[in-house]
Homo-oligomer: A and B are copies of this chain.
Amino acid sequence: MTTFDLLLVGYGHVAQRFVALLTEQRSRLAHDHGVRTRVVGIATRRRGQVYDGRGLSARALESYVVSAPSTGSWPPRQGVSRTVTPIVDFIRRATRLSAAAARQRRLIVIETTTLDIERGEPATSHVRAALAGGAHVVTANKGPAAFAYRALAEAADRANRRFLFEGAVMDGVPVFNLVRETLPAVAIIGLRGVVNSTTNYILTAMEQGQPFGEALAEMQAMGVAEADPSLDVEGWDAAAKTAALANVLLGADITPEMVERRGITPETGRAAIDARTMGRRVKLVARAGREGDRITARVAPEALADDDLLAMLEGQQNAIILQTDLLEEIAVVQRSGSLTQTAYALLSDLMTIARDVTRAPATRRAPTSAPRRRTPSRRDRR
Contact = CB atoms under 8 A, between A and B. Distances in A.
A13 interface: no
A336 interface: yes
A33, A359, A367 pick with most chain B CB within 10 angstroms: A359
Interface in A313-347: 314, 321, 326-336, 338, 340-341, 344, 347
Interface in A224-283: none
* Chain A: interface size category: 35 or more
Interface in A336-363: 336, 338, 340-341, 344, 347-348, 351-352, 355-356, 358-360
Nearest to A352: B184
Given A314-B307, A332-B331, A344 B185 contact: yes
A172 B321 CA distance: 15
A54 interface: no
A173 interface: yes
Interface stretch (A91-99, A125-133, A155-163, A175-183): A175-183
B314 A312 contact: no
A29 interface: yes
A330 B327 contact: no
A382 interface: yes
Contacts of A312: 307, 309, 312
Given A1-B381, A28-B185, A34-B379, 10 more contacts: A28-B373, A32-B378, A34-B380, A174-B178, A174-B330, A185-B347, A185-B351, A307-B312, A331-B332, A359-B359
Interface of A: 1-2, 21, 25, 28-29, 31-34, 171-174, 177-178, 181-186, 307, 309, 312, 314, 321, 326-336, 338, 340-341, 344, 347-348, 351-352, 355-356, 358-360, 364, 367, 372-373, 378-382
